[in-house]
Amino acid sequence: MWQLLKSLASRKGKYKDDKELAKACASGNRDAQEELYNKYASKMFALCLRYAREHTEAEDFLHEGFIKVFSTIHQWKGKGSLESWMRRVFINVILEKLRANKHNVYSFSSYQTASAFDDEEESTELNVPAPDPDIISQLSEKEIIQLIQRLPDGYRTVFNLYVIEGFSHKEIAEMLGISEGTAKSQLSRAKSLLRKWIEEQFYFKKKVTKHA
């Protein structure tokens, strides 16, 4: 009941659509900005969690992302959904942050060794068998995100951009300043690791449930 009231209260907004809301935000209206935050914070936080190594880093991404959204929202002309535009802004902010800390975040040596994949085709990634959909359905979203967070920084970024955001290898390569082959190899390795961990997690969970 409380949850329902809370959700109703949170949905109650002064602005009839995102265009009006964005316009108010662009004029510096704090109430509108707060409404925008209330509307999209949980979605954006989930996005940040996927790219971050840990919870606190995701909080920083969220903080930075919203600051960026508020300062650039006048650039959104109403083409496409506001949520998609915000996602793009958040991803750019996250990538900027990751690039700024690249000496910590990215392992360039792994990119260099991955250049061997430059001449290979898309089939590289297809060689990695996907986990069984039944297994995936048994795991919660949170568990999958936690497994994604365990991936090395480079793998995680490429995996998110390709599998979840739907960018092509060419776009990913441009965004990260790496070659397409590197992006492919990162994806391939990310998938291998993730598949292994998903199965481990599933069997572990099954074992625990059985004993319980």
Partner 1 sequence: MRKNYKGWDEIRKKLENSHITPPYPTWQELHQAVQNRDSWNYIGRKVASYEQTPPNYIKQRIFYGSPIVRYSPMPVLLIGFLIGLLAGLLVTYKHDVYNWITYNTDHIIANEYRKTQHVENLQANNTLSNNALQDSEESLSKYAKTPNTYIQNNSPTVLADASQTSLNSMRNNLGSGLNNPVNTYASHPDDSSALRSIPPLKPTLQLSKQQNSDIKAMTPEFGSNKQAFSSSIPIIAEIHGGANLTRIASLNSEGFSNKVFPGFQTSLLIATPVYKGHLVYLALSKTHSRVSVFIEGREYYNHISGTALEIGGISKTGFVLNGRHFYVRYGLLWSQFHSNNSASIIKAGRSLGGLIAIRRFSGMLGRRFVWGWEGGMSMLFKDVSNLQGGQIPVNFYISAIIGFKM
Closer to partner 1 by Cβ: residue 7 or 115: 7
Select the span of 18-26, 73-81, 111-119, 140-148 touching partner 1 (CB under 8 A).
140-148
Compute CA distances 195 → 102, 103, 136, 188, whole Å. 26, 28, 10, 11
Stretch 52-91: interaction string toward partner 1, x if CB under 8 A: ----xx-xx-xx--xx------------------------
Dist CA 92 CA 176 (whole Å): 10
Q: Which residue has the tokens 């958040």?
A: 90
> Which of 23, 26, 29, 45 is close enough to bind partner 1 by CB under 8 A?
45
Closer to partner 1 by Cβ: residue 48 or 178: 48
> Which of 13, 128, 149, 179 is close enough to bind partner 1 by CB under 8 A?
128
- Number of Cβ within a 10 Å radius of residue 142: 10
Contact (Cβ atoms closer than 8 angstroms) between residue 138 and residue 202: yes
Dist CA 193 CA 199 (whole Å): 10
Give the CA-trace dihedral at 96, 21, 49, 133, to 10 degrees. -120
Binding site for partner 1 (CB under 8 A): 30, 33-34, 37, 41-43, 45-46, 49-50, 56-57, 59-60, 62-63, 66-67, 100, 104, 126, 128-133, 136-137, 141-142, 144-145, 148, 163-164, 166, 191, 194
